[in-house]
Amino acid sequence: MDYIASQGWDTGEAELFMGLKDGSLESLVLRGCSSATPDQIATTMLKHMLQALDFLSVRGIVHRDVKPGNILYQHQAKPGPDHAPYNFLLGDFGVSNRQVLTKTFASSPLYMAPEMRKEVFVMGEQTHKADI
């Protein structure tokens, strides 16, 4: 990770600053990619996102807004065999929270888990499973 700086740790709203990425999964899909097949992109992205979500889950954190616009990518010079030439990263932790503190409704409606819909949402039932 290309960490640059951070601030706000004592305010409860920490901000991390990283170098710019090449774009989001959403922009990559919309513009197309000639250097990798859709299967290679999907397989690589899914592996990286499952690793990121596992990392968060083990630490009791729920992202609550996993969507193509929040999956960032950076081009890799030397991809592994059968992999897309991208490194995917999960970004935008603006509505993420510790699982024990997730008591409010938060997500992007088009990408949220069905159990998170306002009609069926029961306060206090959010877990890392909603991210997957």
Mean pLDDT of each 10-residue bin along the chain, 132 residues long:
79 78 89 82 93 89 86 82 82 72 65 63 62 72
Q: Is 75 helix (H, G, I), strand (E, B) or coil?
A: strand
pLDDT at 89: 92
Q: Is 7 helix (H, G, I), strand (E, B) or coil?
A: strand
pLDDT at 49: 93
pLDDT at 118: 58
pLDDT at 129: 67
- Amino acid identity for residue 21 in this structure: K
pLDDT at 45: 93
